Structure 1
């Protein structure tokens, strides 16, 4: 994969071939065999103008190539122009191969390196290593191993031990590649299409949890300022956004413009699951992380994440936890275990960032961290572990207080080249990353990976009716096929928040509460313009969802997501009500023991919210009512509902609410809100609610 400015592979033996050319350049003239054709008048005297033009191209190419650091991308076009005139010069073919090895099109290097070797087997002391690299990058594993074994470091090299270690690592990578190739992952890899991709480099995709929005980095001609980077010759990086259309395609990507994009480099890093907060890379202080919030349709100016995260080093990648309270990020600051390491930190806390340790970080580089919305599955890229070459994408799960051994996602997701900046949808069905492939639109493109799961027909989509509210049924889109790559133990709750009377969007706060622990897990805001919200709910928790906005009564929902529950999307549109006479509100997080009027501890958070409402509105009078389904005798149901309503009133009066402001009423099964003919309907009818009887 082509590298953006925020991703630089560490110095290694990959660049030694080029250095050896500089030290041993005299060999090209002393040992050139007759097969290698020189750029001389003796050979091209009948075309002196063509020779002069080719020599000019060689000279310009060498100027870029010999810079420190080398400008391979700028040297390559000149070398290719000269090679058209004379395709049979060993040294030129070697340099073209070296340039391709340092480009996004690394597999193209092999043909030129092989030709250089054929024209002159002594073209360079590192030729066998370079041939190994070319074969390796083309997944020709056994041939690559043979060349690596034939590669010998220069006897006088000060880095002989490092060279030998690098060769052994490359051989191990080829052996890993052979193993993965025998059992490839069952996936489709498809170009994301012309809505997202362009003839220019497009990379670094980030998505909302439900795949409705994708943001990415591009170096296209419509970049802000329209200027080119003098170091690479390409346009400066900008961030673009596309949305999913009803037919599943992506809309035409739009430049986010100022204040997100500037005249310099601006790149995507991470996106919150709800798509309301964006992490961006800004090229200052060596490369720092910033955060922007979406207000309506406008992204606000990115703000630095501060010195607890940004350092004098290079911070290149980051990801939010589902609750937004933890940030995972990549940095090469001092004190790490290798080139770049993955750390985590609580931005709102005071403690230092914690290195994830040797289970994750290796003596080599780590990059492209992404945390799945289930809150426990992390994806990242690494040059270590059992990589098949360059950076490979790995998966690790946090269980029992530690990260599991990283699992390579395998071939063809991973390749011998660098595979970095992978993200995956909450469902675990689709992943996104960028790659150079034959079906690309001109340069590096963004691709969608579809995980097929076991060898059986996957259940792609089914509609079901699930009780997420005791007020009304909620339509659920359930994606439940077994997927081996992602556990997908998460529920996505999304919808819009509106005013009950005007139906206009409301920028409400959505709180997620652990009912058992009576703790607020996270708080989000609905979009100011659309009222849309999205909340990621990992499995294994009984959640209370509370929607608040000044001037409105709170609205609550209950979601009990069992441990191991399959991925589900629940669409719930919420209409907030104002405190008008006669308004009724269902208390969805009031729980009683079975067939009793004993309040369960999980009810505490909801009761405290009701208590706070009455404290903030001292003139408010409420009727607390209990309701049942029609199972059992009517008089028993009426008595049970009365006792349950009284239990709520008793709690409130015991916590300082005047008894004169409250009335308990049991209605049994006389006021159903749904038919009692189904389990779902009966559950809706078993409820506690309040009605405003005085203001």
Structure 2
């Protein structure tokens, strides 16, 4: 037998994403010999050991190593019932295909005509004779390499093992072979799990993860235990178990019981011989568990700002966005299920039946609560076993690591179901936690809780405490409502929407008797045109009536947060007929008699009253703009006159901006003596040429 592999077999031979903690203790089966690689077959545990099998006779191989045999938990050499021992003086490590009642065992083999022995894999079927045992077809046929440490996948269709044959990454590497039609495929290297060093003792856990040992993966001190799980058709990056599983010694062959909480591993951490240790995995803890009930679908839909005015003929009706309506300012409404519902309060005129307004628009979004739900009854008798289960339908396609239960009285369990009983009356918080494998750096970690009432019917005082699951009806909120005081709303009468921007002197607006507000809303990419703004909805009743009388029929009162209303406002202004524009410019022209100090841009006090009238006119309609033109006579040079006129026009602009008129609404120009309106030959003519002109600019210009 190859010396390196004798050493491997006899002396050996923190989860970073899913933090797992373990408590460990030394198993009772150990002796001063090398004990390792324990497995369960037909409900009994068997392990490998090189302890003496006879007190007077000791058999050694050519390298001086004692052979390995199977032992039961009583310390006796033993072969499981129904299985025939292979014709080999070396047995183990091994694994069991429980579906086929077949054992794959590491044995010693030699090529025909050669004395050198290597390790190979042999299959032992239950009920088979020794002569019927089959060898793995990919064992070495010329004693050139070792094939050992087999482990079956959960279905038994895949065999993972280690080998030091040529073509690997170096040392011993992990390979896999697939069974099909009774034949094993040519082994393939599991590239991601191997290193130039050694990888040994692969073992499949009940959840399909692969645990193995390596002396060369990152973090390894000697042989350390790592794990990998299936991930999108491949094996995930190996992760090293933290202490107390791994130590400064050799740690290997980690095997889980079916509950995946308890198990065994082998280690020589105490120095000298290898021993078997037991471990118990500490289950994850979950905090802030949510009640195990679906997301609430019932809401209080209420408008608290509007005060009903009995003198106005209106009534209120909520449209819940699910095909149903209800009258009144306040309603409790249950939506049909998961979805998004656009809710609005409609106001109708009781005389005409026409819609007066549409306000309090809000969006109710009911999503799936991505938590597991606990199935089972809520009230049970003392010591009555009751099965609780997990409904995972709300978790979608999430790939869970597992489910973890807490009884509420200190007991824990792992799995999709739990048959549970309680020994004492009381109310217990049964919780169910779910943890998913990390994806994109994130781990799903949620839990649900359910109150369980446990009572004793024989007691004279029955448990009176009830578990009341009150239907808490949350209040529906408008979108973005938290940005301002929820009582602050601005109401307005909207009468038109357009996909393109319109000038306020468009003929469509000819009969609008109010200032028009144009707003652009990104949510629908439309321009909205409205009139009237107020803090009370019903104050706009007459404004709406006037708009209808003016020929506008698609008229609704709406509401908005003041900040949102202002931020979406593009412009404000009025419609002016041609006659009105002429008359307004005639009037503003009378105010253009602005006097300045001689050869100066200083405005005389006598002209300030005119400028105040101009400022007031511009304040009344933000849609108006003003053109200011300044002129001189021909006294002085053209260059001097041009500069003086520009300075005088700028002085008028400066005064108007001081009165609160945005500078962007005023345009100015100085023309010097280039545009006379009279002859400069006379004093009267020169006086007429020394002037300022005002011209109103309307939205369409």
Does the pair score TM above 0.5?
no
Structure richer in strand, relative to its length: 2
Query: Which category describes the TM-score, using the shorter chain as reference length?
Result: 0.3 to 0.5
Structure richer in helix, relative to its length: 1
* Higher relative contact order (Cα pairs below 8 Å, separated by 6+ residues): 1
Higher Rg:
2
